[in-house]
Structure formats: C-alpha cells, structure tokens
Amino acid sequence: MSTTSTTTPVAGAAPDPAPGAADPAPTRERPVRRRRRLSPGRRLPAARLAGPVLLVAVWAVASAAGRLDPAAIPAPWTVFRTGVHLWTDGTLPSDVLTSLERAAYGFAIGLTAGVVLAVASGLTRTGEALIDGTVQLNRAVPTLGLIPLFILWLGIGETFKIAIIAIVVYVPIYLNTHAALSGIDQRYVELAEVQGLSRWAFIRRIVIPGALPGFFVGLRLGVTGSWLGLVVLEQINATSGLGYMMFQAQNYGRTDIILVGLVVYGIFGLLSDSAVRLIERRVLSWRRTLSS
Amino acid sequence: MAPHTEQLSRPAAVRLSGLTRSFEGRTVLDGIDLDLPAGQFTALLGHSGSGKSTLLRAIAGLDHEVAGSGGLTAPERVSVVFQDSRLLPWMRVLDNVLLGLPGKDAADRGRAALAEVGLAGRERAWPGELSGGEAQRAALARSLVREPELLLADEPFGALDALTRIRMHALLRELWERHRPSVLLVTHDVDEAIVLADRVLVLDRGRIGLDLTIDRPHPRSYREPLLGEYRERLLAALGVTEDHA
C-alpha cells in the first residue's frame, strides 16, 4: 500500500485492493493495461554500427573456419595487413591524396555552380526561364554518358575527371536548392511585405534560411555523388588514384587490395556524409525543437 | 463624449471611396465608401467569402495582381496580425519581433514589446517552443513594436482555444488603450466584435451592410444584457435568425 493514505479515490490511480474504503457501488474496475506499442520504440545505443560489426564478425568467423576461398574473399586480417603494408610503403597515401584532390575540386566546383544557378533561377523569372529548363535537360542525360565526349574535349587528364564530378555534384544541389527556393511559403513572403523588408533583407532573413533544409538534402546527395563519380572515373580512365590501384590489383588477382580500396572509399563516404550531417544539425538547430 | 461626435472631430486614418475589387470577374468588393477615424477600434464582420479579408488585404496593400478600382488612403505605418502567428521558425522570438525594424535601440524596444505582451524572458525561445497563445502574443509584439498608426488584424484569435482567446481579447483592448492605433479587426465572431470594438461593420455581398456604433463602457462582459441588442442586430444583418425556443 502507498504511504499517503487518501480516502478519496482518485480517477485514473491504481485500483485500491483494500475494500474498506468508502466506495459506493463497486463497479467492475479493471486496471489500465498499457496498449501495445506500435512504434519501434527507443533507439539502441550505437545502433547504426551493429549491422556492419555483425557483418565483419561473420566474415571473420567464416574465414577462420576455412569456409571462404581466400582468393575470392581474403580474411579480414589479410585485408588489414595489406592495407597497413600499402600505407607504409607510400602507395596508398599518394593514391588517396590524388583521389581526394579530384573529389574535392569537383565537389567545390559543383557546389558553387549548383548554388549560384539555383539562386539565379529561383529568385528571378529571367533566370528561371534561361536556367531551369537547361538544367532539367542536362539532368536527363546520364552524366557518365558524357565521359567519351569530355575526354575528346578536355583530354584524359585531370580536367575532364573534375568536370564530370562537378556535373554529378551540381545536379542534385541545384534541384533541391531550387525546389526549396521556389517552395518558400507564400505567407512568409507576405509577412516580409508587411514588415517592409528590402529585397536584400528578404533574401537574407527569409529566403536563405527557408531554403537551407532543401539545400542540405542536395548537399548530401552531392557528396555521395562525388564519390560515385570518382569511383567510375578512376576505374576506367585513370593512371593514379584509388580506383587505378584497384584496377591494377584486378589484373594481378589481388582481391585483398581491391577490398582495401573499397574500404577506403567506404570510409570516405561515411566521413563526408557525417560531416555534412553535423553541419546540418548545427545550422538547422531550430528544427530540433520540432522533431524532438 | 459620444463616439459619433468623436468620429466627426477626428481625421480619417483610412478612407475608402468607391473601392472595388474582383477576382476572375467575380466582384468581391463593390464600391465601398468608408472612413475609419484615427484611433478608432473597428471590427469587421462577415460570412466567410464575404470579402472581409480582401478588404483588409487591400488596405494593407497586399493585393497585388487583383483587379480593382477606387480611392484608398491609409497611414504610413501599418501593421498586420494574421490568423497564424507567422513567426519565422528559424529565428528566435526576439529576432522575429525585430524583423524589418531599423534603428539602434530596436532590440530594447523589442524586449519592451515582448514584456508588454507578457513574454518577458522568452526572447531567446524558438517559435516552435511557444504555445499557440504565446505565439500570437509574440505576433502582437511584432506589430506593436513598429508603433503602427493602423493595426490590421485578420481573425487573429481564430486559431486559439476559447480560454486563451478571452485572455487575448483583454490584452488587445489593453494594448489599444495604451497605444491608440486605429484598429480594424476582421472576425467572424459576433461576440468578439461586440466585446472589443467601438464600431462594428458588417460586410455583405461586397458592401457595408451595417455600420453599428457600440457606445458601451469597457471592459465589457459577454453576459452584459444590453449587448444582446447589438448582438441581435448584427446577427440579423448577417442573415442569421436566432431560434428563441
């Protein structure tokens, strides 16, 4: 029994098992049973890592048990040893650096182009008329299909690779930013008119913050796209870089080196995506009040 | 002093002459002639679709690309309170209040305005953290901080619960008495109009169907028997007949 013995029964409180209380007309009370929860419930700690860790564990166990052909899928420790070896002899760092440089240049150009075009086409009718249709046309052409043309135009050096990555990046950034810009709530536009904002103040206080969520969606797609473009370019048309390293390994049947390359790509992808998410969380901190 | 003589002695803050507005050939405002004296608290009643909001938006200068004619003068400093608080979710409450407000002392004036509507201490809150009533208070602060000569309110309490609405009525009236802007309150709530306003207009088919001066002392109670007469006249003008069973 509870220590605070109140005589008045409180609605919704746990049913009192003691029958002595002044309880007129003993209705058939049922203890409230909590309803079955249909949402997935609370998140497990470090839940996102659980799947990959399990996968590696299965891989390690299968390798140790000799169930995997080491020529097809070498054991995790072989891959690790090869990775350390490639890193210490200097081939991996220089390949990684080359790849990073390509991705960074292409990404920077694509990001700038995407944002500038989206702003120009989202905020002016002339810009929209000139730009939007053109970008939509560009989007309809698979960017990787442009590779042969770009090689003829720009040569097989770095320029064409950076150009392809930039195109892969700018398209999602443009599309999402433009959609966010043209989707600015009309009520906020009205508010800006009522408050007498100048055109510049309107852009700075309402248009840009309002379009940021869409921009970040595009940014994350763009980051992923830059790695995707990189992988394809380096595996077909490169003489250096991670993809080239993997391509060479294929010729010599070195699956361990191929796996090292894949792991490095994976780490890059994961890190860059996390970085964008982190920035997004900080910039859009006002949203947390809604979602949490 | 009776409001009628007051109306005659004070200059008009808003003057409409033959104001006409139409959407796609349908006439919404049909040649309205209307003077709103400076400092008067006016309520505008009407069915939904009667053109209340169109009239308010015309006075606010928000009706771009709407076909129309007629004369319209309004003061320089006009503030609008919307049905939704329309706070920008990415700005803290104080920054929302200061939106578009120039001047070095703007922040201090914003804080004072927030204190006036009972939101002192919430300056750093995000709009998403406010209740509906608080958000509407912040919206009131945003319109008051600009020291408007004319305050246009488009069903500002329509989305609030009944208890909050009563409190907001008192607050609005109190703020009006302190700052004395001309107020045009658009509402579909007859009681709200009677309790708050000194003059109630009924908009009917694009024209002012009834122009009623309510000459009763404030604060008014909903239960005040004399207000019942006004209520019936307004309901009749709105085409609603009460069934006294």
pLDDT at B217 > cutoff 60? yes
pLDDT band at B159 (very low <50, low <70, confident <90, very high): confident
B17 within some domain: no
A112 within some domain: yes
Helix (H) or strand (E) holding B66: none
B128·A290 Cβ contact <8 A: yes
A6 within some domain: no
Q: Phi and psi at residue B13, in whole multiples of 5°?
A: -85, -40
Residues spanned by the domain of A253: 76-282
Q: Phi and psi at residue B33, in whole multiples of 5°?
A: -110, 125
A108 within some domain: yes
ipTM: 0.87
CATH code at A212? Answer: 1.10.3720.10
B100 within some domain: yes
pLDDT at B185 > cutoff 50? yes
Please report the pLDDT score of residue A288 as a whole number.
67
Q: Distance (Å, rounded) from C-alpha A72 to C-alpha A67?
A: 11
Please report the pLDDT score of residue B80 as a whole number.
94
**What mean pLDDT do residues B138-162 have?**
91
Residues spanned by the domain of B143: 87-147
Q: Are the C-beta atoms of B85 and B135 separated by less than 8 Å?
A: yes
Q: Are the C-beta atoms of B214 and B198 separated by less than 8 Å?
A: yes
Q: Are the C-beta atoms of A153 and A96 separated by less than 8 Å?
A: no
B143 within some domain: yes
Q: Per CB distance under 8 Å, which residues of B are interface residues toward A? A: 60-62, 78-80, 82, 84, 86, 88-91, 99-101, 126, 128-129, 142, 146
| Tally of domains in chain A | 1
Please report the pLDDT score of residue B226 as a whole number.
74
Helical segments of chain B, H only: 3-9, 52-60, 93-97, 106-116, 132-144, 162-179, 190-196, 225-237
Please report the pLDDT score of residue A216 as a whole number.
94
Of A190, A210, A286, the CB nearest to B126: A286
A278 within some domain: yes
**Chain B contact for A137, CB < 8 A?**
no
Give bridge partners of residue B73 from the DSSP assignment: B15
**Chain B contact for A192, CB < 8 A?**
yes
Please report the pLDDT score of residue A144 as a whole number.
85
| CA atoms A184, A185, A190, A194: torsion sign | negative
Please report the pLDDT score of residue A23 as a whole number.
52
Nearest CA in chain A to B124: A286
Residue B141 Cα, gap to closest chain A Cα (Å):
13
B68 within some domain: no
* B93 vs A contacts (CB less than 8 Å): none
Of A195, A210, A284, the CB nearest to B99: A195
Of A191, A197, A286, the CB nearest to B89: A286
Please report the pLDDT score of residue A26 as a whole number.
59
Q: Distance (Å, rounded) from C-alpha A201 to C-alpha B110?
A: 18
Q: Are the C-beta atoms of B3 and B215 separated by less than 8 Å?
A: yes
| Tally of domains in chain B | 1
Helix (H) or strand (E) holding B210: strand B207-213
Please report the pLDDT score of residue A217 as a whole number.
93
Residues of chain A where predicted confidence (pLDDT) is lower than 50: 1-18, 20-21, 291-292
B102 within some domain: yes
Q: Which of B187, B145, B93, B40 is nearest to A195 (CA)?
A: B145
pLDDT band at B237 (very low <50, low <70, confident <90, very high): confident
* B134 vs A contacts (CB less than 8 Å): none
Please report the pLDDT score of residue B86 as a whole number.
93
A191·B99 Cβ contact <8 A: yes
Of B62, B79, B126, the CB nearest to A190: B62
**What mean pLDDT do residues B69-74 have?**
86
B80·A194 Cβ contact <8 A: yes
A60 within some domain: no
Please report the pLDDT score of residue B112 as a whole number.
93
* A194 vs B contacts (CB less than 8 Å): 60, 62, 78-80
Of B141 and B239, more confident:
B141
Helix (H) or strand (E) holding A104: helix A91-123
Reduced to 3 states, what is the DSSP secondary structure of residue B148?
coil
pLDDT at B70 > cutoff 90? no
Give bridge partners of residue B69 from the DSSP assignment: B20
pLDDT at B6 > cutoff 90? no
| CA atoms A278, A280, A281, A282: torsion sign | positive
Please report the pLDDT score of residue A103 as a whole number.
92
**Per residue in A205-234, pLDDT tens?**
999 999 999 999 999 999 988 988 888 888
- The type of residue at A133 is G
A195·B100 Cβ contact <8 A: yes
